[in-house]
């Protein structure tokens, strides 16, 4: 039989210690309900002595969230413990979590207590908590920097006085995985009482090793892992719940343990926590970052499109994401582009598709991400194949709120390169007049419209113009990340259509 690991979620307690985060009772309840839906084993709802608001929040969670154990934190003193119980007492599964520091630094400078006094306070705290509930967790704060013999005595005292969960925190994220795994192993060996209780770990991420340390602890017999959604927590945060769970699930061959978490709720939980705490998730964050299941480079895209497991070690569906993402950009290749064309419903002859691919690559050089709208726009331009009697080679505009707009354009016309300049009512009018001069024509702009056809600051602008020449109206369309270029291209496109009706001849 495989060992079952308890997932103890501390998003609402240590997670709330993230600088800048404060959750009210309603927000804590919403997150707690989602954590229960995700089937975590324990929800640490808060630290009731901290404030009236946190007391109310823990009480609200305790009274309304069914399923997981609801824990509340308390220092090793009667008032904290009584207050924690007052907040928890209506829960169907209440746990008091009491703690005291055990390292020489913390005992001397912070608590100003001798080791014997700490032992005494721990024993009293656990006893008092036990008078309220059978489920009592005891933590030795800064355990990883404590004297081993003292830590063994402290844990032994806590269990003898009724603790049912013993937690070993790496409070300042100082341990390495080898050291921390060894600490768990040695404690289990030296403190026989630990056989009767849940052995828990609580790792901080100051050196970026919280998850690795927690997993090393699991390898060495820990049966509960304390963690927070999105890795929230004091300073650099706690071990990230989603990383712990997915590591245990994905590498079951290594850890050989089970968890009760419904992993398909991970993504939704992460989003909810991010939006209620206001702490944004970095795109390359493991499991829940926007890029965790996105593929941008051609070789990877080709691999994933042929067989997902080439570059995906877990499925996006397993964390509740509908699908992976093929991001089209300058590093993408033909396979991914053709695949997207098919998804968009285009079945182009190979030659056309390759032409579109070239245009896509040109655009991708100017733009971070090429969206579906960009591709639609590229194809829209390409399908209407107008002979290019004139081509815009170059333009330069100068304008400002205190100066007259001037535009210089270089146009290739019937094989010849012509440069002209003009002033105008704004940069676009000046550019259109300069193009007219270069072509030796006169036409009237009847209509002009512009819209963004994709999102973001680097959105493509699509300009549509209606131009009147010799009594006929021609529509032109231009597309670029630069709106003046889009405007000039639309105008040139309309002119080329007008020349096409005249057998490709430019006449006024």
Ligand X SMILES: CC(C)C(=O)C(=O)O
Ligand Y SMILES: CC(=O)SCCNC(=O)CCNC(=O)[C@H](O)C(C)(C)COP(=O)(O)OP(=O)(O)OC[C@H]1O[C@@H](n2cnc3c(N)ncnc32)[C@H](O)[C@@H]1OP(=O)(O)O
Q: Which residue positions form the known binding site for Mn(2+)? A: 14, 202, 204, 238
Query: Contact between 8 and ligand Y (CB under 6 A)?
Result: no
Scanning 58-66, 167-175, 183-191, 317-325 for contacts with ligand X by CB under 6 A, the matching segment is: 167-175
Cβ-based burial of 388 (10 A; exposed 0-12, middle 13-18, buried ≥19): middle
Query: Contact between 202 and ligand X (CB under 6 A)?
Result: yes
- Taking alpha carbons only, the member of 167, 171, 144 closest to residue 155 is 167
> Distance from first CA to last CA of the chain, Å, rounded?
89
Q: Which does 202 bind (CB under 5 to 8 A by kind): ligand Y, ligand X, none?
A: ligand X
Residue written as tokens 């991001």?
Answer: 327
Q: How far is the CB of 190 from ligand X (least distance, A)?
A: 21
In this chain, which of 45, 69, 76, 378 binds ligand Y, going by CB under 6 A?
76
Q: How far is the CB of 166 from ligand X (least distance, A)?
A: 11
Q: Which does 386 bind (CB under 5 to 8 A by kind): ligand Y, ligand X, none?
A: none
Q: How far is the CB of 9 from ligand X (least distance, A)?
A: 13
CB 410 within 8 A of CB 394: yes
- Taking alpha carbons only, the member of 252, 224, 37, 248 closest to residue 138 is 224
CB 194 within 8 A of CB 153: no
- Taking alpha carbons only, the member of 99, 171, 166 closest to residue 135 is 166
Scanning 69-77, 191-199, 206-214, 257-265 for contacts with ligand Y by CB under 6 A, the matching segment is: 69-77
Q: How far is the CB of 427 from ligand Y (least distance, A)?
A: 58
Residue written as tokens 């904290």?
Answer: 80
Query: Annotated binding site, which residues?
Result: 14, 202, 204, 238
Which SS3 state, helix, strand or coil, does residue 27 take? helix
Q: How far apart are CA 225 and CA 334, in angstroms?
A: 45
In this chain, which of 66, 108, 110, 251 binds ligand Y, going by CB under 6 A?
110
DSSP H/E element including 380: helix 372-383
Q: How far apart are CA 10 and CA 44, in angstroms?
A: 5
Q: How far is the CB of 69 from ligand Y (least distance, A)?
A: 19
Q: How far is the CB of 339 from ligand X (least distance, A)?
A: 47
Q: How far is the CB of 171 from ligand Y (least distance, A)?
A: 5
Q: Which residue's CB is nearer to ligand Y, number 196 or number 235?
A: 235
Q: Which does 77 bind (CB under 5 to 8 A by kind): ligand X, ligand Y, none?
A: ligand Y
In this chain, which of 33, 39, 77, 324 binds ligand Y, going by CB under 6 A?
77
Q: Which does 139 bind (CB under 5 to 8 A by kind): ligand Y, ligand X, none?
A: ligand X
Pairing relationship of beta strands 69-75 and 94-101 according to DSSP bridges: parallel
Query: Contact between 75 and ligand Y (CB under 6 A)?
Result: yes
Angle, vertex CA 291, rays to CA 290 and CA 294, nearest 5: 120
Query: Contact between 139 and ligand X (CB under 6 A)?
Result: yes
Q: Which residue's CB is nearer to ligand Y, number 11 or number 493?
A: 11
Cβ-based burial of 175 (10 A; exposed 0-12, middle 13-18, buried ≥19): buried
Q: What is the DSSP letter of 238?
A: B
In this chain, which of 102, 161, 171, 214 binds ligand X, going by CB under 6 A?
171
Q: Which residue's CB is nearer to ligand Y, number 53 or number 221?
A: 53
Q: How far apart are CA 414 and CA 345, in angstroms?
A: 37
Q: Which residue's CB is nearer to ligand Y, number 106 or number 300?
A: 106
Q: What is the DSSP letter of 424?
A: E
CB 255 within 8 A of CB 231: no
Scanning 44-52, 258-266, 392-400, 455-463 for contacts with ligand Y by CB under 6 A, the matching segment is: 44-52
Report how far Cα 153 is from the mean position of its chain's Cα atoms. Answer: 43
Contacts of residue 438, Cβ cutoff 8 Å, sequence gap at least 6: 390, 409, 410, 411, 413, 418, 419, 420
Query: Contact between 99 and ligand X (CB under 6 A)?
Result: yes
- x/- track of binding to ligand X for residues 140-159 (CB under 6 A): -x------------------
DSSP H/E element including 137: strand 136-141
Query: Contact between 14 and ligand X (CB under 6 A)?
Result: yes
Q: How far is the CB of 103 from ligand X (least distance, A)?
A: 10
Query: Contact between 173 and ligand X (CB under 6 A)?
Result: no
In this chain, which of 21, 37, 50, 115 binds ligand Y, going by CB under 6 A?
50
CB 414 within 8 A of CB 506: yes
Using CB under 6 A as the criterion, which residues of the chain lie in contact with ligand Y when the complex forms?
A: 14, 17, 47, 49-50, 75-77, 99-100, 110-111, 141, 171, 234
Which residues of the shown chain bind ligand X in the complex (CB under 6 A)?
A: 14, 99, 139, 141, 167, 169, 171, 202, 204
């Amino acid at each position: 039989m495989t060992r079952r690991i308890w997932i103890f979620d501390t998003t609402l307690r240590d997670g709330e210690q993230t600088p800048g985060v404060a959750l009210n009772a309603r927000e804590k309840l919403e997150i707690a309900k989602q954590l229960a839906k995700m089937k975590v084993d324990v929800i640490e709802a808060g630290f009731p002595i901290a404030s009236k608001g946190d007391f109310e929040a823990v009480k609200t969670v305790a009274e309304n969230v069914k399923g997981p154990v609801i824990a509340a934190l308390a220092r090793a003193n009667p008032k904290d413990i009584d207050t924690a119980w007052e907040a928890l007492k209506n829960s169907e599964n209440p746990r008091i979590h009491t703690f005291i520091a055990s390292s020489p630094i913390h005992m001397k400078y912070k608590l100003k207590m001798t080791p014997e006094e700490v032992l005494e306070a721990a024993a009293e705290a656990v006893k008092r908590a036990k008078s309220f509930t059978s489920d009592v967790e005891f933590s030795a704060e800064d355990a990883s920097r404590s004297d081993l013999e003292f830590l063994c005595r402290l844990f032994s005292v806590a269990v003898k006085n009724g603790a049912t969960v013993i937690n070993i925190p790496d409070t300042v994220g100082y341990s390495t995985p080898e050291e921390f795994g060894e600490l768990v192993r040695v404690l289990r060996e030296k403190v026989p009482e630990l056989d009767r209780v849940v052995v828990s770990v609580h790792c901080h991420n100051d050196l970026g090793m919280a998850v690795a340390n927690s997993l090393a602890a699991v390898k060495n017999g820990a049966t509960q892992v304390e963690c927070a959604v999105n890795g929230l927590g004091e300073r650099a945060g706690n071990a990230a719940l989603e990383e712990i769970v997915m590591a245990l699930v994905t590498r079951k061959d290594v850890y050989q343990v089970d968890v009760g978490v419904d992993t398909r709720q991970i993504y939704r939980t992460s989003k909810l926590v991010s939006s209620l705490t206001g702490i944004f998730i970095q795109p390359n964050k493991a499991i829940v970052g926007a890029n965790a299941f996105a593929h941008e480079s051609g070789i990877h895209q080709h691999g994933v499109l042929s067989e997902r497991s080439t570059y995906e070690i877990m499925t996006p569906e397993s964390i509740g994401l509908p699908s992976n993402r093929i991001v089209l950009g300058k590093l993408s290749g033909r396979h991914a582009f053709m695949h997207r064309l098919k998804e968009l419903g285009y079945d182009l002859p190979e030659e056309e598709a390759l032409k579109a691919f070239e245009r896509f690559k040109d655009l991708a050089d100017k733009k971070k991400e090429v969206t579906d709208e960009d591709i639609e726009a590229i194809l829209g331009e390409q399908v209407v194949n107008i002979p290019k009697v004139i081509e815009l080679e170059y333009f330069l505009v100068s304008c400002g709120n205190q100066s007259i707009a001037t535009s210089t354009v270089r146009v290739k016309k019937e094989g010849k390169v012509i440069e002209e300049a003009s002033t105008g009512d704004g940069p676009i009018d000046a550019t259109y007049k300069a193009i007219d001069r270069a072509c030796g024509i006169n036409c009237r702009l009847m209509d002009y419209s512009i819209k963004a056809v994709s999102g973001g600051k680097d959105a493509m602008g699509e300009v549509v113009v209606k131009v009147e020449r010799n009594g006929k109206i021609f529509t032109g369309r231009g597309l670029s990340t630069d709106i003046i270029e889009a405007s000039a291209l639309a105008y040139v496109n309309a002119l080329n259509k007008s020349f096409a009706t005249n057998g490709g001849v430019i006449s006024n």
